Amino acid sequence: MADVVFINCFEVPPGREAAFLALWTQIDDFMCAQPGFRWRRLHLSLNPDARLRYVNVAGWESAEQFDAAHGEEFRRLQGQPEWLEFPALPSLYTVEQETRAPSLVDVDV
């Protein structure tokens, strides 16, 4: 099993951050408790005019565990009509290359 990284970019209109974060937190709480979940980081663009203002990056032990986490409860949470306001571009990745600064070679990031 190879580690995989899930990346999901969200369109969040200015002024709708709280609504987005409320929905996102529901799914995040659920996903963090699933077998195979390793870590996550939610990024916010420094540019308030960026189309994709939020980017979620999460590490999983395997693609199989990631897939298994998307059962009935996940579909219920994601199926809330409020999500329609926040289009997303999700995909699952594996690391192709990694480069670290010399001072971070022995640091787990």
pLDDT tens-digit readout, 16-42: 999 999 999 999 999 999 999 999 999
**Would residue 81 count as lying in a domain?**
yes
Closest CA to 2 of 51, 86, 59, 83: 59
Mean pLDDT of the chain: 93
Long-range contacts of 98-102 (CB under 8 A, 24+ apart): none
Q: Is residue 26 in a domain? A: yes
The reply to whether 39 falls in a domain is yes
Q: Which domain holds residue 37?
A: 14-52+67-86
Structurally, the chain folds into a number of domains equal to 1
* pTM of the model as a whole: 0.87
Structure confidence at residue 2 (pLDDT): 64
Query: Which of helix, strand or coil describes residue 19?
Result: helix
Q: Which residues of the chain have pLDDT under 50?
A: 1
- How many angstroms separate the CA atoms of 29 and 103, rounded? 34
46 in any annotated domain: yes
Cβ neighbours for 92, distance < 8 A, ≥ 6 positions apart: 4, 5, 6, 60, 63, 66
pLDDT at 1: 47
